[in-house]
Chain A
Amino acid sequence: MIGILDYGMGNLRSVQKALQRVGAEAQTIGRPEAVALCDRVVLPGVGAFADGMAHLRATGMDQAVLDYIATGRPLMGICLGMQLLFGASQEGATEASQPVPGLGVLPGRVVRFEEDQGPGQARLKVPHMGWNRIDWQSGTALFDGLTPGGHVYFVHAYYCQPEHPADTAATTTYGRPFCSAVHRDNIWATQFHPEKSQQVGLRILKNFVERAADRPSDPSTG
């Protein structure tokens, strides 16, 4: 069963219906105890990073997610859900030197698009809103069955900067290239909204449902 984490950040129905459309049994999960019962978990979310972390903590979901990931079972973050997996975000930080801490599952940080692209460059509109291309960076199962150059729907003002280049599964160019999807072991995440990206998005969700693999257990820890 796929659990969609409900921690009070946005409507989850479209994610649930999209997963059901691709044949998955998907339920929203409101209690941290239920997370351990899932064999796949989706961490969705829209809104502000600091609110997202506060809601995760208030519902006890933060620890439940970390415990779940430690079991090696697959998790997919979407939009804010992707950003929350990282170390920290500029969003909501009172000082640039003190970003708001995230779940810290993936090393890296979350930063805002700069409107000012430098002298002679056109200013960037923020948020980045609309259909943009994903350029694959790794042979991840996220994009199985898709042809290169497909478009997906974005709506965000902040984006992730993974510390390890190998974590980046796809980039998208807005002003300059940024990380639009990550894949590391059992963790998948997209900055775009697959549940709003028509056929391309449904295929990505189907890949998560059918092809995301458990992280191989580490023999040294038994």
Chain B
Amino acid sequence: MLTHRVIPCLDVNRGRVVKGVNFVDLRDAGDPVEVAAGYDAAGADELVFLDITASHEDRAITYDMVRQVAERCFMPFTVGGGIRTLEDVTKLIQAGAEKVSINTAAIVTPDIVAQTARRFGTCATVVNIDPKRVPIDEALPRMRERYGSGFEPPAVSTGTDTDGNPIECVFEVHTHGGRKPVGVEALTYARQVVELGAGEIILTSMDGDGTKDGYDIEVTKRVADAVDVPVVASGGCGSPAHMVDVLRQTRADAVLAASIFHFGTYSIAQAKRALADAGLPVRLDDGVAVH
């Protein structure tokens, strides 16, 4: 049976890992190849490289990094961050990434998703969705501007206002690390990008991101129920127990985490053992499943 993937996310800047790992025996914690090899040996199922290089001109360095990782690490990996055009996608795939994850560009020009899927297949086409709870009175006008005056959000949630009182919210997609609301409704958008050809969704809750309070079960459940492609839960992971929670309570297929691995709070092996102990199908280090 298909196992749940545990995916470390590595931030890379100008070809160097700036947030990714804390292996004791690593000679150079900034070398993407060494870091990837370390995670490979530790039993990670896949890697996501998030390119945070600010300047688009420096992307040649990123392509070179992808090439080196692909040549020396025999495990699957996805590259995201800063993808604007089909040309960017093509360069990453040609360098050896088997999947690319598209974020802002898919909102601005959704056709890039269709183009990527046509050219490289849906299996290589991943879309990042970053939803955040926004009071319905604020978000709905933006959404109606985008989708038409008759638009009704398919899901509502409860958030808190500035005084801490409960308030009715919708899941609005954000860009710029959760700072900019764009009037896109998360479930509607998830269905749209799958229709266009996305073969996987990395769903990062902007309410959960950085909190270490756990994955956002509610939005993950909603989105994973809304589409029939794999969903990677992201944002908020503070412990292996959080991974167990989101995989048990939603149809998410995989869990992504950054900080708990980066700061060495937990190892990949600990995370996978927790999943196995909870009865979830998982690939252990020896490549043999226990369930």
Chain A interface (Cβ < 8 Å from any Cβ of B): 10-11, 13-14, 17-18, 21, 46-48, 115, 123-133, 147, 149-151, 153-157, 173-174, 193, 195-202
Contacts and interface: CB of A to CB of B under 8 A. Distances in A.
Contacts of B1: 132-133, 173-174
A198 B230 contact: no
B123 A149 contact: no
Nearest to B290: A149
Q: Is the interface of A mostly helix, strand, loop or mixed?
A: mixed
B254 interface: yes
Contacts of A198: 40, 74-75, 287
B283 interface: yes
Contact of A17 (B2, B72, B230): B72
Most chain A CB within 10 A, of B67, B253, B287, is at: B287
B45 A130 contact: yes
A48 B40 contact: no
Given A130-B3, A153-B76, A200-B287, A11 B95 contact: yes
Contact of B70 (A11, A124, A155): A11
Given A11-B96, A13-B67, A130-B5, A46 B253 contact: no
B230 A129 contact: yes
B108 interface: no
A14 B67 CA distance: 9
B124 interface: yes
A60 to B, nearest CB: 23
The 3 tightest CB contacts between A and B, nearest first, are A151-B283, A131-B283, A150-B287
Nearest to B254: A130
A46 B120 CA distance: 7
B95 to A, nearest CB: 7
Given A196-B74, A199-B287, A11 B199 contact: no
A71 B1 CA distance: 38
B74 A197 contact: yes
A201 B289 CA distance: 16
Contact of A127 (B5, B67, B230, B283): B230
B88 interface: no
Contacts, number: 117
A125 B98 contact: no
Interface string B47-58: 000000000000
Nearest to B284: A151
Given A17-B71, A115-B228, A156 B2 contact: no
A151 B289 contact: yes
Interface residues of B, number: 40
Contacts of A156: 123
B249 interface: no
B94 interface: yes
Given A17-B70, A128-B2, 6 more contacts: A10-B120, A17-B71, A21-B74, A131-B5, A131-B45, A147-B288
B12 interface: no
A125 B287 contact: no
Contacts of B228: 115, 123-126
B229 A125 contact: yes
A11 B45 contact: no
B121 interface: yes
Contacts of A157: 122-123, 199
15 contacts: A10-B93, A14-B96, A46-B124, A47-B119, A48-B121, A123-B228, A127-B123, A127-B230, A130-B45, A130-B254, A132-B1, A133-B289, A151-B289, A196-B76, A198-B74
Most chain A CB within 10 A, of B71, B74, B120, B286, is at: B74
B185 interface: no
Contacts of B289: 133, 149, 151
Contacts of A124: 228
A201 B74 contact: yes
A201 B40 CA distance: 13
Contacts of A131: 2-3, 5, 45, 283
A156 B229 CA distance: 11
B229 A47 contact: no
Contacts of B286: 147
A21 B72 CA distance: 9
B130 interface: no
Given A10-B120, A155-B98, A196-B75, A127 B288 contact: no
A14 B71 contact: yes
Contacts of B120: 10, 46-47
Contacts of B122: 127, 157
